[in-house]
């Protein structure tokens, strides 16, 4: 059953995908809180390349890891999840933040050890993030100075895309190339199948 559900989620349309996620949230909240309807803040871990336009706004750049649900690329996935949650009257959930799994890993570790400087994921995908001084982030020059906020930022490396330019083709075996050709997203995230499940 879980394999069939997984295959369905890979290729569904956005409304069905996010409605399913919202239903899972409803099941979880019912199991945890019973029939008591509590207002809950939700942090949304979304492990796909996403352009973050705010703490709770993330535009999907592209699917990876075999997902190809149509109509989601270029859309705000937080908005899609919020809409789906509003359809279920038994829950009162607000998606207050979207983050990548590596960022969540780093933040969880840093909560208990302030010396934590890096988050790494090795699983169905792979990625890393690290702490960087804002003065070294050329993309944000001038935007952060004198704003009273911390002088560091988390940089999401998105190293799963390493090799998409062909620089890893010399290490790909015929089997790696066949897997890539038959994937839903050929020539994308080539580093992941070389290292992960």
* Of 65, 76, 156, 180, catalytic: 65
Q: Are 76 and 57 in contact (CB under 8 A)?
A: yes
Task: Tell me if 15 sits within 8 A of 85, measured CB to CB.
Answer: no
CB-count exposure of residue 29 (10 Å: 0-12, 13-18, 19+): buried
Q: Is 176 a catalytic residue?
A: no
Q: Which of 56, 41, 44 is nearest to 92 (CA)?
A: 41
- Of 19, 76, 101, 180, the active-site residue reads 101
Assess whether 147 carries a catalytic annotation.
no
CA dihedral (105, 106, 110, 114) in degrees, to 10, reads 160
Among all residues, which ones are annotated catalytic?
Answer: 65, 101
């Amino acid at each position: 059953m879980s394999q069939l559900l997984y295959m369905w989620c890979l290729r569904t349309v956005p409304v069905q995908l996010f409605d399913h996620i919202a239903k899972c949230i409803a099941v979880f909240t019912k199991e945890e809180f019973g029939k008591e309807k509590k207002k809950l803040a939700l942090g949304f871990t979304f492990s796909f390349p996403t352009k973050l336009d705010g703490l709770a706004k993330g535009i999907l750049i592209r699917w990876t890891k075999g997902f190809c649900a149509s109509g989601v690329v270029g859309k705000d996935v937080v908005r899609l999840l919020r809409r789906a949650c509003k359809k279920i009257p038994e829950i009162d959930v607000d998606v207050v933040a979207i983050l990548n799994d590596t960022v969540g890993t780093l933040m969880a570790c840093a909560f208990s050890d302030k010396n934590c400087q890096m988050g790494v994921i090795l699983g169905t995908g792979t990625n890393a993030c690290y702490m960087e001084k804002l003065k070294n982030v050329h993309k944000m020059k001038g935007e952060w100075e004198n704003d009273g906020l911390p002088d560091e930022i988390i940089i999401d490396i998105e190293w799963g895309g390493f090799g998409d330019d062909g620089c890893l083709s010399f290490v790909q075996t015929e089997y790696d190339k066949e897997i890539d050709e038959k994937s839903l997203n050929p020539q994308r995230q080539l580093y992941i199948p070389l290292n992960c499940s």
